[in-house]
Amino acid sequence: MVRSLFMLGAIALTMVSTATAQVTFERKYPEGQRARTEVESSADQTLTLAGMAVETKTDSFIVVNSQIGQRDAEGNLKVAQKFETFQSNMELPGGITVNFDSGNANNSSDIEQLNSLLEMFRVMSESSWTLILDKSNDLVRVENEDNLESSIDETYQELFSTEYREQIAEQEMNRLPSDPIKVGESWKKTEMAKLGAGQTFEFEKTYEYVGTIEQDGRTLDKITSKTTDVTYTMEPTGNIPLEVTDSDLEVETLKGTILFDREAGSIVSSEESVKISGSMTFSVNGQVLPGSLDLVMTNNSKTEKVSE
């Protein structure tokens, strides 16, 4: 009887300890390590402008290689990154298709207006950049290896700026909290994404730590994400005089999961899919036009260590 009570007490204590245990998502950057990240993304959009529906679809596949260097005397560390593969397929109104593959980067279109887009893809696929981290692994700056902004159409220059790459790097590195956290706890983040042509999405997200799973012989931490709000802005830029003066958008999270490897100190995979819909008001050369947006965006990535 006493033994049974003792065992029940031990089990209860174990359950309480497990439930309240805290974990830390510490990012690690082993010197000399190489990694390969694959990203698959898609966008299925219907933009209605003054009663006319404009449908576009985009599917992209990219591979980014990362090489961690050696820390200098001050403890700073360089992480060099570049594209290995860059592929994009677009379906535009009127049955027009745009296909880009970095393996054949010099292709062109019979439609002159699309060549600036293909040139942007080409320059992007050949670009490389370096993250500079301090001794605490916080981002100091991003160094672009080449001055690429001036070589492409003004419509897409913001995507190549050092400032934007620093924003994206900070955003990615700070998605997970630095303080210890336990199962069931959540945190909020504001994240942004530029689409080019003056377009920007800003997302309000809530992340929650839901515990560990076993996958491919590893114990991984699982984090879910839910997008609770979205703001879309569009400013006239380059050859596009269109801007958004007002919007009332709703967002629905179709999927949001991150897997983190505590032993490796890195995100193993991320899956996210959201649906955005609602009304918008546009202005073209001072003329106000009512419109609406129906958009589904998906982004899936996975990262693996590359053996020497």
Domain locations in the chain? 25-306
Tell me the CA distances in angstroms from 167 to 26, 122, 141, 301, one per residue in order: 20, 23, 10, 19
Q: What is the pLDDT of residue 1?
A: 44
Confidence label for 48 from pLDDT (cuts 50, 70 and 90):
very high
pLDDT at 16 over 60: no
Question: Which tokens belong to 286?
Answer: 């001072």
Q: What is the pLDDT of residue 238?
A: 57
Say if CB 294 and CB 250 are below 8 A apart. Answer: no
How large is the average pLDDT for residues 156-176?
90
Query: Please, which residues bridge with residue 98 across strands?
Result: 90
How large is the average pLDDT for residues 51-62?
94
3-state secondary structure of 113: helix
Count of CB atoms within 10 A of residue 53's CB? 12
**Does domain 25-306 bear CATH number 1.10.533?**
no
Report which secondary-structure segment, H or E, holds 234.
strand 218-234
Q: What is the pLDDT of residue 239?
A: 64
Say if CB 159 and CB 168 are below 8 A apart. Answer: no
pTM above 0.85, yes or no: yes
